[in-house]
Amino acid sequence: MSNVLAMIKSFPATSDINPDLLAAAIEQALACSQTCTACADACLGDGMLDCIRVDNDCADTCATTARVLSRQSGHNTAVIRAQLEVCIAACRSCGDECERHADMHEHCRICAEVCRACESACRELLASMS
């Protein structure tokens, strides 16, 4: 069991959000934030300003998403849904941009893959809340 899932399961109150999907979304968002930050840094050397911009937007959005999803006391479903939608959009945008450079830059290939995984985990959690 991951630390994220262990923390979710240790929370004293119950939630109607699937803990496995929640943990997966948090873990993917954290991984995506780190990967996008590293990709933006790597893109600095190549002068890829558009990629840097979407990397930074995605990194910040994913970090915020992980924090919002990690709060279990009195969670606001409307805010969680909206945050997931924003994260999905940021990951899609970043994934699309990085895929354009994936053949030339390994960091962009990796970043695109991680963005797609985060987008998928957030979509799955969002769908489970409908």
Q: Which amino acid is at 84?
A: L
Which one has a higher pLDDT value, 87 or 14? 87
Domains with residue ranges and CATH for the chain: 18-128 (1.20.1270.360)
Per-residue pLDDT reduced to its tens digit, 1-58: 789 999 888 988 778 889 999 999 999 999 999 999 999 999 998 889 999 999 999 9
Q: Alpha carbon 92 to chain centroid distance?
A: 10
Q: What is the pLDDT of residue 40?
A: 97
pTM of the model: 0.94
Percent with pLDDT over 70 in the chain: 98
How far is it, in rounded angstroms, from Cα 51 to Cα 126?
A: 27
pLDDT at 90 over 90: yes
How far is it, in rounded angstroms, from Cα 113 to Cα 22?
A: 20
